A and B are shown apart, each in its own frame.
Chain A
Amino acid sequence: MKQETDLEALGREIVQESAFLDRTREVLSTTIIGQRRVIDRVLIALLANGHLLLEGVPGLAKTLIVRTFATAMNLTFHRIQFTPDMLPADLIGTMIYNPKTMEFHPRKGPVFANVILADEINRSPAKVQSALLEAMQEKQVTIGDVSFPLGEPFMVLATQNPVEHEGTYMLPEAQLDRFMMKVIVEYPTFEEELEVMQRASALQASVEAAAVVEPEEVFRARALVDRIYVDQRVQRYIVDLVTATRFPDRYGLGELSSMIEYGASPRASIFLLLASKAHAFLQRRAYATPEDVKSIVYEVLRHRVRPSYEAEAENMKAEDFIRSILEHVQVP
């Protein structure tokens, strides 16, 4: 009975502390038309302390979503356009010589912000990508001999274009794995696009988003997400889904064995659990269910499951494997 009471109390706290989500959504809705799913995933990443990889063709308001989100959250925001001639120092900063004092002083790069939009991350060579991904992992940056901690919360939202691969450096699998989720930004619906067009064609200045959330609210929400109850059954279901990407034949999916070159890493299980808890928080629940897992499984697994050449020849994608796995792994 004690646990039940705890969960009920936690549920009440969650309802109370999740009010900032509505405010954020409201502010975002004044600027962004549609893209509800992308906004939810950004919030999940924020609550679960993860990073996001956004993939979509240009012009789908990826930058606008991230900028508005950072403004609404009252967080510092930097947009970094990745280019082929970029150097790690352009990102993390460097030591500058001061002739007056005859000393070197650290000059912090654009990575020092709460929300980073790494635009077209695949346009820069591996050393720049690595510098950013190290910052994502370590939450600190070393310039010269001094290590500087990054701000909290620290969240990277990287974008890449799925259609234009010429002159790009695809992210290696080890680096892709650092992103909690990969979100596909879809085209808006007919009605949404109509509204986007009408708003964007107005000559008057667009409405500036207001800061409606304090970072402390995010930290409190994160603390509640940590306390969300995840039953053993749900945890086993998560591990089942991830294991099925590695050994599909154990789940009656023998035909996928030759189609998947390699499956998801244990980091996928961790992120799937964290994201499920954050999703439960968005639903104002004090416990996670298999529905939470299913809701974010595509985003967590799609960049961690690599199709084989055979699968690519048959035009099969990671999403097809995840769909098959969901249809074969029994829900608790």
Chain B
Amino acid sequence: MNGRFSFIRIVGSLIIALMTAALPASARAALRSSDVVVSATPDSLLAGERLHYVIAVRHDGRRAISVGALETGQGSSFELAGSKSTTKKLPDGTSEFRMDAELAVFGSGRQQLPGFTVTAQEGGGKGQEKLEVKPPSSVFVMGMTDSTMTEMRPVVPPVKAPFPSWIVVPTITLLLLLFIAGYAVRRLYIALRTHLDDPVRNARNKLRSIRRQLSKGMQPAEGYEALSNILREFLQNRYGFGAMEMVTQEIAKELAARRINIREALLQLLVRADLVKFADSRPNIEECRRSLRVAEVLVGSAGEAEAVDDTADSSVMEE
């Protein structure tokens, strides 16, 4: 019984195998247009831009699928810039061939997507099936130039914007206000500088400070050195010559040339200070205080003389 059953089974298997081998390829899994899916993004682009063109072919997985004869190049609005093909198994047991192509687009207006040929190749090169596909969809290409233009047109110069005359008065007013403000600030700055840099005021303040320091223990010799420096600085700032870089004899000549009324008393102080500084003379504190007071009076009188000079000058001007 068993032997008989085995025989039947072997014979049956042989019959099925023979029938399968005798079937035409188209009868096994013919390529259908519905198996081919085409997509393109974006659907509208400028001439010269790139189009992402995807061709997906679903098949039984027993044949090798390829896509060829893509209608690009000369005479076409598309140019193949690059492509990549992959095949993957799907969960339902079928396979999907996928080609990602990058196409440069030219021309203008609506352009039909390029056609192509899908080829299914049997293993060992026994049979081949081809399917020509003409995608129904299209993309819109915006041309860089107007293709309807048939002659050169003159370039029209840009229209000049009219001058906004309303801005003139506010601008002039603003500039005037800025000028007045700047002038006022400058005057204020000069007045402040004059006040702060007043040589008479500065010298008197410094002399008073030295007198205070003498009371707090400053040595008389140091007091004389400070006195000499203050007087020379005062002369430099008040009369505008480099007294700080001059020796007493040079200062004497300069004062004589300028006919400064306080020169004799000033020089006496400077000579006394020179003796303290260079001849190691040791003054006492009272002498130093006295010299500082004299210096203060001299500096003050120089300031008053200046004021008198100014008044005299202005009265002469008025006359």
Q: In whole angstroms, what is the CA distance A210 to B127 when docked? A: 145
Q: Which of B242, B244, B250, B278 has the most CB of A within 10 A?
A: B278
Q: Mark B232-258, 1 if CB is under 8 A from A, else 0.
A: 000000000010111111100000000
Q: Mark A80-111, 1 if CB is under 8 A from B, else 0.
A: 00000000000000000000000000000000
In the bound complex, do residue B278 and residue A233 qualify as a contact, i.e. CB atoms below 8 Å apart?
yes
Set of chain A residues within 8 Å of B278, measured between Cβ atoms: 229, 231, 233-234, 287-290, 332
A332 to chain B, nearest CB (A): 6
A106-143 residues at the B interface, CB under 8 angstroms: none
In the bound complex, do residue B247 and residue A290 qualify as a contact, i.e. CB atoms below 8 Å apart?
yes
In the bound complex, do residue A7 and residue B279 qualify as a contact, i.e. CB atoms below 8 Å apart?
yes
In the bound complex, do residue B280 and residue A328 qualify as a contact, i.e. CB atoms below 8 Å apart?
no
CB of B282 within 8 Å of the partner chain: yes
In the bound complex, do residue B274 and residue A289 qualify as a contact, i.e. CB atoms below 8 Å apart?
yes
Set of chain A residues within 8 Å of B242, measured between Cβ atoms: 327
In the bound complex, do residue B280 and residue A330 qualify as a contact, i.e. CB atoms below 8 Å apart?
no
In the bound complex, do residue B245 and residue A330 qualify as a contact, i.e. CB atoms below 8 Å apart?
yes
CB of B277 within 8 Å of the partner chain: yes
Q: Report the nearest B residue to A11, measured CB to CB.
A: B279
CB of A1 within 8 Å of the partner chain: yes
Q: In whole angstroms, what is the CA distance A1 to B282 when docked? A: 7
B10-62 residues at the A interface, CB under 8 angstroms: none
Interface residue from A231, A289, A294, A327 paired with B280 (Cβ < 8 Å): A231
B275 to chain A, nearest CB (A): 9
CB of B281 within 8 Å of the partner chain: yes
Q: Report the nearest B residue to A330, measured CB to CB.
A: B244
In the bound complex, do residue A294 and residue B247 qualify as a contact, i.e. CB atoms below 8 Å apart?
yes
B238 to chain A, nearest CB (A): 18
Set of chain A residues within 8 Å of B249, measured between Cβ atoms: 291
Set of chain A residues within 8 Å of B244, measured between Cβ atoms: 330-331
Set of chain B residues within 8 Å of A328, measured between Cβ atoms: 245
The 12 sampled A-B contact pairs (Cβ below 8 Å) are: A229-B280, A231-B278, A233-B277, A285-B279, A286-B279, A290-B278, A294-B247, A294-B250, A328-B245, A330-B244, A331-B245, A331-B247
State how many residues of chain A have any CB contact under 8 Å with chain B.
23
Set of chain A residues within 8 Å of B247, measured between Cβ atoms: 289-291, 294, 331
Set of chain B residues within 8 Å of A234, measured between Cβ atoms: 278
Set of chain A residues within 8 Å of B280, measured between Cβ atoms: 3-4, 7, 229, 231, 287
Q: Mark A304-332, 1 if CB is under 8 A from B, else 0.
A: 00000000000000000000001111111
Q: In whole angstroms, what is the CA distance A1 to B281 when docked? A: 8
Q: In whole angstroms, what is the CA distance A329 to B278 when docked? A: 18
Q: Mark A289-304, 1 if CB is under 8 A from B, else 0.
A: 1110010000000000
Interface residue from A1, A229, A332 paired with B279 (Cβ < 8 Å): A229
Set of chain B residues within 8 Å of A7, measured between Cβ atoms: 279-280
Q: In whole angstroms, what is the CA distance A111 to B274 when docked? A: 44
10 further interface pairs, Cβ-Cβ under 8 Å (given A233-B278, A326-B245): A3-B280, A4-B279, A4-B282, A229-B278, A229-B279, A233-B277, A234-B278, A289-B274, A289-B278, A291-B249
B265-296 residues at the A interface, CB under 8 angstroms: 274, 277-282
Interface residue from A229, A233, A288, A291 paired with B248 (Cβ < 8 Å): A291
Set of chain B residues within 8 Å of A285, measured between Cβ atoms: 279
B59 to chain A, nearest CB (A): 88
Q: Mark B74-109, 1 if CB is under 8 A from A, else 0.
A: 000000000000000000000000000000000000
Set of chain A residues within 8 Å of B274, measured between Cβ atoms: 289
In the bound complex, do residue B245 and residue A327 qualify as a contact, i.e. CB atoms below 8 Å apart?
yes
In the bound complex, do residue B245 and residue A332 qualify as a contact, i.e. CB atoms below 8 Å apart?
no
Set of chain B residues within 8 Å of A233, measured between Cβ atoms: 277-278
A297 to chain B, nearest CB (A): 11
Q: Report the nearest B residue to A287, measured CB to CB.
A: B279
Q: Report the nearest A residue to B274, measured CB to CB.
A: A289
Set of chain B residues within 8 Å of A287, measured between Cβ atoms: 278-280
Q: In whole angstroms, what is the CA distance A294 to B246 when docked? A: 9
Set of chain A residues within 8 Å of B277, measured between Cβ atoms: 231, 233, 332
Q: Report the nearest B residue to A6, measured CB to CB.
A: B280
Q: In whole angstroms, what is the CA distance A287 to B282 when docked? A: 14
Set of chain B residues within 8 Å of A290, measured between Cβ atoms: 247, 278
A134 to chain B, nearest CB (A): 37
Q: In whole angstroms, what is the CA distance A194 to B249 when docked? A: 32
